[in-house]
Amino acid sequence: DLKITIIGGGSSYTPEIIEGFIKRHDTLPVKEIWLVDIEEGKEKLEIVGNLAKRMVKKAQIDCTVNLTLDRKDALKGSDFVVTQFRVGLMDARIRDEKIPLRYNCIGQETTGAGGFAKALRTIPVILDICKDMEKICPDAWLINFTNPSGIITETVLKHTNIKVIGLCNVPVLMHMVAAEAVGAKSKDEVFVHFAGLNHLVWGRKIYYQGKDVTSQVVEKIVNGMKFTTRNIAEMGWIKEQIKDLNMLPCPYHRYYYLTYKMLQEEIESAKTIGTRGEIVKKVEKELFEIYKDPNLAEKPKQLEQRGGQYYSDAACELINSIYNDKRIIMTVNTRNNGAIADLPDDVAIETSCVITKQGAIPLNTGHVEVQIRGLLQVIKAYEELTIEAAIKGDYNKALQALTMHPLVTSAEVAKKILDDIIKENIDYLPQF
C-alpha cells in the first residue's frame, strides 16, 4: 500500500493528479494522499483538498485524502513525495517576468533571468524538504515538478541523498504532436528519442513503423502545424534553420531562436493583456470558484485553460512504472551518467529513460550534433553556476551565471537584473 505526499497541495493542478491515481487504482494501490501547503496557501488547500476528497469518494476507491500545513507529519511513512510548490506565490512569478523586461531581456517563468530568480528562491526550500525527507522517509522517491525543474532536480542529485526524478509536460506534448504529424492513432505508436535539458529538449530522432520519420515531422512543423504550450506565443519558426536542424525543437526554443520576436510579444502583452503570470492569476481565480462547487466531483474541463496539462498524469504514470517496475520509456530529468557525452556526468539532463524500480535509466545519445551542442553546453554551465550561487548565496557566481545566459545581453545588464532580483525577493532569499 502506498502513501503519497504532495507538497504544494493547494495547486490548481492537484485535481489532475488525483484523477491519475483514481484511474490507476487497480495497479497502483494508493491508500493515503497527503496534501501539504503553507499558511499563505491555506485557502487554496482547503478548496482543492475538498474537491479531491469528493473525487475520491465518488470513485469509491479505498483511499483517504488528508490536508495539512505540517510537512514533517505528512512525510511520515511516505513512499512518494511529489513537489509542485511555488515559493513566493504568483506575485513572485509576475516580478520574475517583469524585472528582465525593464532591461529588454526575455522575462519568463523558467527561461532566462526569470527562471534564475525562481531558482534562487526555490533551492533553499527544496533543500529543506530533502533534509526532512532524509530524517523522516529516506527511502521515498521525490518526483519534482517545481520549476525550473532541471535545476531543482540537479540540486537534489548533487546536494542530498534523496532519490529524485524531475518531470515536465513539454516532452509529452511534443510526443503527441509527432504522433499527430505522421497520422498515428496514439503517441504509443511513435518513438521519439529526446535529449537535452528541461525546457531545452530536442526530439532528436522520431520513428514510426520502423522508419525514421524525423524529417516528415519537421516538415509539418515548419509548415505551420500548431505546436506550442499555453504559456508560449505561437510564432512559427525560421524554416531553413529548423529543417537544417532536422530535429523537433521544444516550444521554449523560440526564446533562443526567435528572441527578438518573442521579446516584442512580451513587451506588447505586458502593456495590454498582462504578463502570463498576470493572466494565470485571473484564470486561477475563476478555476477556484469552479472548484468550490460542492456538486463537482471530477477534474473540471476548465483546468485545460490553465496550461501544464498532462503533467500530473505523467507523474502518476511515472510512479506506477517505478512501483510496478514496468520499464516503460518516459522522458524525465535524471543524472546524465554519460548519456550525453558532451555534458558532465553529474548534471541533470532531460532525456528518454527506461523507468524501473531502481529509477530512471537514460537511453544513450553519445555526442550531439554541433548545431545543438553550443547552446546545450552554455545553458548547462549557466545551470551549474546558478545552483552553486543559490546554495552559497554567492553574489559573484550569480552574476557569472546570469552574464553567461544567452538571453541576458551583457554583464552590465546582468548586474542590474541581479540587483533588482535580490532586492525584490529578499524575503525569500535567506542565503543572500
C-alpha cell at 394: 554567492
Q: How far is the CB of 144 from ligand NAD (least distance, A)?
A: 8
C-alpha cell at 355: 523507468
Residues 6+ apart with CB under 8 A from 26: none
Q: Do 11 and 32 form a contact (C-beta atoms < 8 A)?
A: no
Q: Is the dihedral of CA 223, 228, 234, 235 positive or negative?
A: negative
Measured from the CB atom, the residue of 10 and 20 that comes closer to ligand NAD is 10
For ligand NAD, the binding residues (CB under 6 A) are 7-8, 10-13, 36-38, 40-41, 44, 84-87, 89-90, 125, 145-147, 149, 167-169, 308, 311
d(CA 246, CA 181): 14
Residue 12, binding choice from ligand NAD, Mn ion, none, Cβ under 5 to 8 Å by partner class:
ligand NAD
Residue 8, binding choice from Mn ion, ligand NAD, none, Cβ under 5 to 8 Å by partner class:
ligand NAD
Measured from the CB atom, the residue of 13 and 208 that comes closer to Mn ion is 13
Measured from the CB atom, the residue of 100 and 308 that comes closer to ligand NAD is 308
Measured from the CB atom, the residue of 151 and 167 that comes closer to ligand NAD is 167
Q: How far is the CB of 94 from ligand NAD (least distance, A)?
A: 11
C-alpha cell at 162: 534523496
Buried b (16+ CB within 10 A) or exposed e, 353-374: bbbeeebbebeebeebeeebee
Residue 111, binding choice from ligand NAD, Mn ion, none, Cβ under 5 to 8 Å by partner class:
none
DSSP structure string for 233-257: ------HHHHHHHTSB--GGGHHHH
Which one of 13, 208, 252, 291 is the catalytic residue? 252
Measured from the CB atom, the residue of 208 and 227 that comes closer to ligand NAD is 227
Measured from the CB atom, the residue of 86 and 95 that comes closer to ligand NAD is 86
Q: How far is the CB of 396 from ligand NAD (least distance, A)?
A: 27
Q: Do 151 and 383 form a contact (C-beta atoms < 8 A)?
A: yes
Measured from the CB atom, the residue of 208 and 266 that comes closer to ligand NAD is 266
For Mn ion, the binding residues (CB under 5 A) are 168
d(CA 20, CA 22): 5
252 is catalytic: yes
Element (H, E) at 3: strand 2-7
Least Cα distance to 12 among 39, 49, 38, 40 occurs for 49
C-alpha cell at 404: 553567461
Residue 41, binding choice from ligand NAD, Mn ion, none, Cβ under 5 to 8 Å by partner class:
ligand NAD
Q: How far is the CB of 86 from ligand NAD (least distance, A)?
A: 4
Buried b (16+ CB within 10 A) or exposed e, 280-312: bbebbeebbeebeeeebbebeeebeebbbbbbb
Residue 85, binding choice from ligand NAD, Mn ion, none, Cβ under 5 to 8 Å by partner class:
ligand NAD
Q: How far is the CB of 374 from ligand NAD (least distance, A)?
A: 25
Residue 154, binding choice from ligand NAD, Mn ion, none, Cβ under 5 to 8 Å by partner class:
none
Q: How far is the CB of 339 from ligand NAD (least distance, A)?
A: 20
Residue 145, binding choice from Mn ion, ligand NAD, none, Cβ under 5 to 8 Å by partner class:
ligand NAD
Q: How many CB atoms are closer than 10 A to CB 106?
A: 23
Place of cell 532524509: 134
Q: Give me the phi and psi of 47, to 5 degrees please.
A: -65, -50
Q: How far is the CB of 279 from ligand NAD (least distance, A)?
A: 12
Residue showing the smallest CB distance to Mn ion in the complex: 168
Residues acting as catalytic residues: 252
